[in-house]
């Protein structure tokens, strides 16, 4: 499908309405023929011929046509406006759904600001086209043709002289269209870039302030702003060149009319009234010529926007539900990784991962930062797909499962906590909005969050700002943990969820979690104390499983785990194996 076909697939639903509207445009345009024609009759028959008795009738016709034309115009403007708004609504909805369907790789690739521009500026260019440009192009072409036809009926020689400027107009319009296309692409690019910059700076505003980098950021912003202004000016410069040409072409019609027409009236080959009629049609020729440049501009703006939006969403997400997913609503939580390899682009991230977890077990995954712990869990949730090997839950390959089903069985507290600007209760209940307040509170208690929440001014109704502003790192982590638990999933993943919580609170959380024996729990950590009691501990280093077992067996083994355990901090980040080997890792 091309970008335009994609656009027309949205327009299709409004086809009938638009056709009716275009018929109305046709009708209204054809009415414009009447007034100049009547003016001619007034000059020839009333003024010169003295038939004053028909004058009132003619005036009434003039008034009536104008009135009817206005009413029709009102109706078709309304249809175009309504259709464009509705079409845009559907399109925006579709694009938004696509955004939500997209996988992690899509969001790694696309900047937020770009995506925002697709949904705002680009959508608006499309709406403008449907609401205004379509009928204007059509109306102007009609007016032009009607005028030419009417002039032909008056006198073919005069008509031919006036048509002579046509090829020049067509040529200029097509040249302009070609010339401004790159300029519009550039405008859209700069606009996205400006948007991205503002979005990043607004959300990263605390970092900017903390480093007192306001001046630096303003300077950078000015560059973006300059870039956008220059892109706009550049396109304006492009089409400004064409404005005088169109202006000249349209004025030349006036010269031609009065020169050729004047001579003909003097020679007596046409009447004065005919000349008045033709000059009444003049604007119908002039107007399209004057408008051609503007409409070409708007058209190109529209095409660029459709192309931009389509390019963003045209590729299907690589991770999606298979056509015939295995129907299984609830999992027991048996998980197996079989020879799993994962590469991102050309980087080898995980190599030959094998382990098996029985339902209800607690698994500790430990290793230094960047060793691949989060990636293991991302593969389990199918945020990315394995390159080789297989991950199965209850014996079913995760790739054969319905994505929605798979993920609704997993409660995940992610490493970088994201909270919505909503109440604390709303944030915790996110995965299960129909739950009772008691359930929210119970989850918060397990996560050791209840105590600090009830101490807040509005308790559970406290609105946490964007991304959870106003809360400490540890508080955010505990809310995110409560959110993961409330879903009541058979698999719980806690990715570094207690890293910002003090040791004592962490121990309390662990004893609460330990009581949940009916689910499989993964705890990712780099502090041994966080996972010491796990049934299975997996030590990850540089994308490989180095050793695994429970705490006692790993200590007995006297390997990497043992070394780190005996080290002052018991933290994997403070003791890298490669350091010991003199390898490349840095802290
Ligand atoms: N989608 C990806 N594309 C490229 N590199 C990735 C991707 N995901 C993870 N990585 C890289 O893989 C390595 C492991 O990352 P991660 O699993 O987040 O480590 P950990 O959670 O153990 O700190 C890191 O070097 C990271 O940069
Ligand atoms: Mg991680």
Q: What is the pLDDT of residues 88-108, one digit of tens each?
A: 999 999 999 999 999 998 998
Residue 262, domain member (yes or no): yes
**Measured CA distances, 166 to 133, 141, 144, 145, 516 (Å):** 21, 12, 10, 11, 81
Specify the DSSP class assigned to residue 356: E
C-beta of 347 in contact with ligand 1 (< 6 A): yes
Both 24 and 145 in a single domain?
A: yes
Both 391 and 537 in a single domain?
A: yes
- The string of pLDDT tens digits covering residues 472-501 is 889 999 999 999 999 889 999 999 888 888
Residue 214, domain member (yes or no): yes
What is the pLDDT at residue 578?
A: 53
Mean pLDDT check: name the lowest of 49-53, 316-320, 396-400, 581-585: 581-585
Both 53 and 151 in a single domain?
A: yes
Ligand 1, atom 17, residue with closest C-alpha = 372
Mean of the per-residue pLDDT values for the chain?
A: 90
Residue 517, domain member (yes or no): no
CB within 8 Å of 578: residues ≥ 6 apart? 542, 584, 585
Both 42 and 161 in a single domain?
A: yes
Both 152 and 31 in a single domain?
A: yes
Both 338 and 368 in a single domain?
A: yes
Q: How many Å lie between the centroid of ligand 2 and the Cα of residue 392?
A: 21
Query: Which of these three, 313, 344, 379, is where a domain ends?
Result: 313
Residue 468, domain member (yes or no): no
Both 307 and 361 in a single domain?
A: no
Q: How many Å lie between the centroid of ligand 2 and the Cα of residue 530?
A: 15
Ligand 1, atom 25, residue with closest C-alpha = 370
Both 94 and 211 in a single domain?
A: yes
Atom index in ligand 1 nearest the CA of residue 524 equals 21
pLDDT at 131 over 60: yes
**Measured CA distances, 207 to 200, 214, 468 (Å):** 11, 10, 16
- The string of pLDDT tens digits covering residues 403-441 is 999 999 999 999 889 999 899 999 999 998 899 999 999
Residue 320, domain member (yes or no): no
Euclidean distance between CA atoms 95 and 42, whole angstroms: 58
- The string of pLDDT tens digits covering residues 248-291 is 888 888 899 999 999 999 999 999 999 999 998 888 888 888 88
Both 176 and 126 in a single domain?
A: yes
Write the CATH number for 110.
1.20.1560.10
- For the chain, give the number of residues: 587
Query: Which of these three, 253, 278, 313, is where a domain ends?
Result: 313
Query: Which of these three, 282, 313, 344, is where a domain ends?
Result: 313
Q: How many Å lie between the centroid of ligand 1 and the Cα of residue 393?
A: 23
What is the pLDDT at residue 586?
A: 39
Tell me which of 346, 348, 349 to substitute to probe ligand 1's pocket, judged by most ligand atoms within 8 Å of the beta carbon.
349
Q: How many Å lie between the centroid of ligand 1 and the Cα of residue 200?
A: 22
Domain that holds residue 269: 3-313
Report helix, strand and coil shares of the chain as percent, to nearest 5: 65, 10, 20
Residue 418, domain member (yes or no): no
C-beta of 373 in contact with ligand 1 (< 6 A): yes
Residue 434, domain member (yes or no): no
C-beta of 371 in contact with ligand 1 (< 6 A): yes
Both 295 and 379 in a single domain?
A: no
Both 169 and 21 in a single domain?
A: yes
pLDDT at 83 over 90: yes
Both 350 and 215 in a single domain?
A: no
- The string of pLDDT tens digits covering residues 526-544 is 788 888 889 999 999 999 9
Domain total in the chain:
2
Q: Confidence band (pLDDT; 50, 70, 90) for 113?
A: confident
Tell me which of 109, 110, 344, 546 to substitute to probe ligand 1's pocket, judged by most ligand atoms within 8 Å of the beta carbon.
344
Ligand 1, atom 9, residue with closest C-alpha = 375
Residue 21, domain member (yes or no): yes
What is the pLDDT at residue 530?
A: 85
47 token code pair: 């003024």
Sign of CA dihedral 273, 278, 281, 283: negative
Phi, psi of 558 (to 5 degrees): 55, 45
Euclidean distance between CA atoms 187 and 191, whole angstroms: 6
Euclidean distance between CA atoms 322 and 562, whole angstroms: 43
What is the pLDDT at residue 99?
A: 94
Cβ atoms of 128 and 163 closer than 8 Å: no
C-beta of 375 in contact with ligand 1 (< 6 A): yes
Q: How many Å lie between the centroid of ligand 2 and the Cα of residue 533?
A: 20
Phi, psi of 269 (to 5 degrees): -80, -20
Euclidean distance between CA atoms 347 and 436, whole angstroms: 46
Give, as residue ranges, everything with CB less than 5 Å from ion ligand 2. Answer: 374, 415
Q: Confidence band (pLDDT; 50, 70, 90) for 346?
A: confident
User: Percent of the chain scored above 70 by pLDDT?
Assistant: 96
Indicate the pTM of the whole model.
0.83
Write the CATH number for 533.
3.40.50.300
What is the pLDDT at residue 507?
A: 83
């Amino acid at each position: 499908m091309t970008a335009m076909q994609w656009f027309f697939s949205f327009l299709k639903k409004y086809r009938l309405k638009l056709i009716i509207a275009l018929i109305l445009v046709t009708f209204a345009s054809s009415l414009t023929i009447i007034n100049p024609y009547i003016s001619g009759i007034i000059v020839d028959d009333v003024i010169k011929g003295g038939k004053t008795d028909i004058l009132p009738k003619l005036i009434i016709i003039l008034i009536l046509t104008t009135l009817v034309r206005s009413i029709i115009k009102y109706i078709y403007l309304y249809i175009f406006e309504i259709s464009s708004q509705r079409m845009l609504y559907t399109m925006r909805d579709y694009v938004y759904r696509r955004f939500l369907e997209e996988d992690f790789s899509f969001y790694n690739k696309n900047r937020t600001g770009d995506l925002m521009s697709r949904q705002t500026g680009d959508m608006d260019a499309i709406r403008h086209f449907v609401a205004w440009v379509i009928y204007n192009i059509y109306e102007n072409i009609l007016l032009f043709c009607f005028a030419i036809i009417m002039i032909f009926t008056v006198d073919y020689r005069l008509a031919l002289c006036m048509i002579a400027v046509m090829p020049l107009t067509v040529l200029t319009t097509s040249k302009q269209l070609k010339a401004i296309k790159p300029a519009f692409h550039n405008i859209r690019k700069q606009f996205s870039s400006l948007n991205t910059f503002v979005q990043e700076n607004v959300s990263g505003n605390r970092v900017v302030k903390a480093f007192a980098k306001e001046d630096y950021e303003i300077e950078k912003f000015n560059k973006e702003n300059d870039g956008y202004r220059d892109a706009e000016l550049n396109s304006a410069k492009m089409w400004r060149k064409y404005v005088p040409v169109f202006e000249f072409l349209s004025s030349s019609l006036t010269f031609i009319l009065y020169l050729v027409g004047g001579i003909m009236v003097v020679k007596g080959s046409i009447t004065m009234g005919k000349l008045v009629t033709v000059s009444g049609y003049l604007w119908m020729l002039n107007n399209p010529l004057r408008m051609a440049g503007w409409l070409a501009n708007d058209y190109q703006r529209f095409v660029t926007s459709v192309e931009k939006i389509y390019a963003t969403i045209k590729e299907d997400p690589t991770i999606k539900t298979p056509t015939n997913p295995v129907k299984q609503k609830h999992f027991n939580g048996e998980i197996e990784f079989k020879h799993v390899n994962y590469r991102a682009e050309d980087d080898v991230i995980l190599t030959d991962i094998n382990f098996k977890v029985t339902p209800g077990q607690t698994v500790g995954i430990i290793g230094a930062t960047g060793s691949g712990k989060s990636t293991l869990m991302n593969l389990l949730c199918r945020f990315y797909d394995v390159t080789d090997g297989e991950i199965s839950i209850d014996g079913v390959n995760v790739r054969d499962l319905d994505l929605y089903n798979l993920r609704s069985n997993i409660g995940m507290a992610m490493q970088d906590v994201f909270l919505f600007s909503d109440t604390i209760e709303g944030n915790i209940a996110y995965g299960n909005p129909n739950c009772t307040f008691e359930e929210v509170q119970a989850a918060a208690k397990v996560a050791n969050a209840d105590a600090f929440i009830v101490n807040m001014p509005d308790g559970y109704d406290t609105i946490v700002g964007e991304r959870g502003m106003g809360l400490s790192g540890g508080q955010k982590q505990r809310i995110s943990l409560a959110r993961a638990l409330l879903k009541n999933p058979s698999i719980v993943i806690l990715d570094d969820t207690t890293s910002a919580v003090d040791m004592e609170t962490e121990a309390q959380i662990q004893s609460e979690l330990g009581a949940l024996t009916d689910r499989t729990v993964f705890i990712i950590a780099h502090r041994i104390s966080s996972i010491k009691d796990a049934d299975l501990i997996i030590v990850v280093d540089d994308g490989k499983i180095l050793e695994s077992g429970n705490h006692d067996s790993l200590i007995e083994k006297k390997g990497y785990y043992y070394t780190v355990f005996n080290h002052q901090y018991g933290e994997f980040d403070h003791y890298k194996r490669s350091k010991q080997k003199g390898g490349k890792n840095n802290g």
